[in-house]
Amino acid sequence: MEQKINSNLHNWFYAGLQYAAWQIKGKDIEMESILSVNNLQKRKGKKIILKDVNIELHRGEIVGFIGANGAGKTTTMKCIMDLYSYNGNIEKENIKVGALIEEPCFYPYMSGFRNLKIDSMYYKDISADRVDELVKELDMSQYIRQKVKNYSLGMKQRLGLAFALMDDPDVIILDEPMNGLDPQGVMVLRNTLKKLAHEKNKAILISSHILSEMQVLCDRFLFIKDGCTFEEKPDDNLEKKYMEIMEEEMDLCLNL
C-alpha cells in the first residue's frame, strides 16, 4: 500500500516537472523570434506586388503562408532569400535560412546522391555523412542512386527539400513543397516537418493550397491578400476561413 502511494506521488511529481518544462518551452517559443520581416514592399515594373508584408518567425513553430494564386507568396519568400531586391526590413542576422522555392536546378544526368554531394561542397563545416543522414531522414534511399532525369515530380520535391536542409538551417522556407507528392509522400513530409520544428526547434514558413494538410501541419496561419499580410485563427476549419477571406474577391469575379 505504502509503495503504491509512493509510486503515485512519484507519478504526480514527474507530471508536475513535465508541465513546468512544457510551460518553459511554451514561453521560449513565444519569446524567441529569429526572423522578422517588417513592412516589406516590392514592385515589379509599375505593378505593386507587396504593399505591407510583416512576418515574425519563432523557433519551434510551423507557420502556414496562405493566399490565392498571384497573391505574392513566392515573391515574399524570394525577398527573404535575397533573390529579389525590396524595400522594407528583413532581420535574419546570425541565423541560417534554407529554402525550397519553385523547382531547384539539378544535374539531370547525375544521380540524386551525386547532386547532393555536389551541393554539400558549397557549404563549409558540412560533415562527411550529412548526405547519408539526409537520405535516411527523408526516406530517399530507394531511388537516390538513380539519375535525376528519371525522377518523378515528387522525388524531385524531396530532393529539393534535402538541398534546403543541407546546412541544418534554423529557418526553413518552403514554397508549395507538397506539389506532386503522393499521399505517402505528403505524410512523410508532414512527419519530417513536425519533427524539424517541434523536436529540433526549427522555424518553418510553408505555402500550400492543400488546406486540409495545412490545417493538420501548421501551428498558425498568415494570410496574404492585396499585398498585405494578416494573421487569422481558423478555429476548426481552415477551408471555411479561407473562403470567408476570399469571398469578397470571388463575389467580384462572379459578377464579371
List interacting residues with Mg ion (CB under 5 A): 73-74
> Counting contacts by CB under 6 A, is residue 234 touching ligand ADP?
no
- Between CA 125 and CA 133 the distance in angstroms is 15
Q: Judge whether 81 and 99 are in contact, CB under 8 Å.
A: yes
Cα 37 from Cα 66, distance rounded (Å): 16
| Greatest CA separation for the chain | 80
Contact call for residue 49 and ligand ADP (CB under 6 A): yes
229 binds ligand ADP (CB under 6 A): no
For residues 256 and 252, what is the distance between their CA atoms, to the nearest angstrom?
7
94 binds ligand ADP (CB under 6 A): no
Of 49 and 172, the one with the shorter C-beta distance to ligand ADP is 49
Q: How far is the CB of 208 from ligand ADP (least distance, A)?
A: 11
Which is nearer to Mg ion, 116 or 189 (by Cβ)?
189
CA distance 222 to 72: 12
Binding residues with ligand ADP: total (CB under 6 A)? 10
Provide the minimum distance between the beta carbon of 204 and Mg ion in the complex, in angstroms, as a whole number.
Answer: 17
Least distance to Mg ion, CB of residue 74, Å: 3
User: Which 29-48 residues touch ligand ADP, going by CB under 6 A?
Assistant: 44
238 vs 212: CA distance, rounded Å: 7
Residues in CB range of 109: below 8 A, 6 or more apart: 147, 148, 149
CB of 222 to Mg ion, least distance (A): 15
Would you count residue 75 as binding ligand ADP (CB under 6 A)?
Answer: yes
Cα-flanking dihedrals φ and ψ of residue 229, to 5°?
Answer: -100, 150
Shortest Cβ distance from residue 224 to ligand ADP (Å)? Answer: 7
Determine the Cα angle at 161 with ends 220 and 102, to 5°: 85
Binding at 49: pick from Mg ion, ligand ADP, none (beta carbon under 5-8 Å per type)? ligand ADP
Bridge partners (DSSP) of residue 173 are: 99, 205
Determine the Cα–Cα distance for residues 101 and 176; give it in Å rounded to an integer.
8
Minimum distance of Mg ion from residue 249's CB (angstroms): 17
Minimum CB distance to Mg ion smaller for 42 or for 73? 73
75 interacts with, out of ligand ADP, Mg ion, none, CB within 5 to 8 A per kind: ligand ADP
Closer CB to Mg ion, 120 or 207, in the complex: 207
Q: Which is nearer to ligand ADP, 28 or 103 (CB)?
A: 103
Binding-site partner at residue 214 among Mg ion, ligand ADP, none, CB < 5 to 8 Å by type? none
Q: Which three cell numbers stand for residue 27?
A: 514561453
- 175 near 74, Cβ under 8 Å? yes
- What Cα–Cα distance (Å) separates residue 28 from each residue in 57, 157, 178? 13, 32, 29
Per CB under 6 A, residues contacting ligand ADP are: 44, 49, 67, 69-75
